[in-house]
Amino acid sequence: MDTNMEQKFCQSCGMPLSPEVLGTNADGSKNEDYCMYCYKDGKFLQECTMEEMIEHCAQFVDEVNKGLPQPITKEEYIGQMKMYFPHLKR
């Protein structure tokens, strides 16, 4: 993987994308836009509103905090997602 490549994020849940977590297209090839938790075999794994996705992702705040120098609260994380998610493709 090119180290100069900018970090990509899942266009459904906002998770950082790496080759290990890329979703798959119907033909089995890797999908560059979505993670394996949102997209598999060319289909989205769940239908939900943006608000439902934010609520779902908020439960992983402890995982998010592992990569942050300063931990954030679940409420702060939800606030960040509400600003970020409208810019995602899905």
Chunked mean pLDDT (size 10), the chain, 90 residues: 70 95 98 97 95 95 92 96 95
- pLDDT number for residue 74: 96
Say if 6 falls within a structural domain: no
Strand 39-40 to 43-44 pairing: antiparallel
pTM: 0.83
Distance (Å, rounded) from C-alpha 42 to C-alpha 44?
A: 7
Say if 7 falls within a structural domain: no
Query: What is the extent of the structural domain holding 42?
Result: 19-87
Domain count, the chain: 1
- pLDDT number for residue 7: 87
Say if 14 falls within a structural domain: no
State the amino acid at position 6 in one-letter form.
Answer: E
Say if 11 falls within a structural domain: no
